[in-house]
Amino acid sequence: MGPWDEPLRGRQAIRARFARAIARQEQVQFGHELLAVTPDGRGVARWWVSLHIPADGTVEEDEGIFLVTVEDEGLCTEFRE
């Protein structure tokens, strides 16, 4: 997944992509901080992760921003990272 890849669409595509990604990871440490929520269902959060990739013995550390839109029933309608 990268900024120039086609967006994932639908629950099944999202689940499959994340299942492939986490299958090669160990010792995952994840954190997040909620930065803002608007009355119309939009939110912004900062995230960070550290994980070990046993196949090549590396430790990967990343961080970024989540932009989320949630509908009235609580379902996510848009998710950007």
User: Encoding tokens for residue 81?
Assistant: 């990272």
In this prediction, residue 35 carries a pLDDT of 96
Cβ atoms of residues 33 and 25 within 8 Å: no
What are the pLDDT digits (tens) for 59-70? 999 999 999 999
pLDDT above 90: residue 49 = yes
DSSP SS3 for 47: strand
Per-residue pLDDT, averaged over 24-28, amounts to 87
Which two tokens mark 13?
Answer: 């595509």
Q: What is the mean pLDDT of the chain?
A: 89
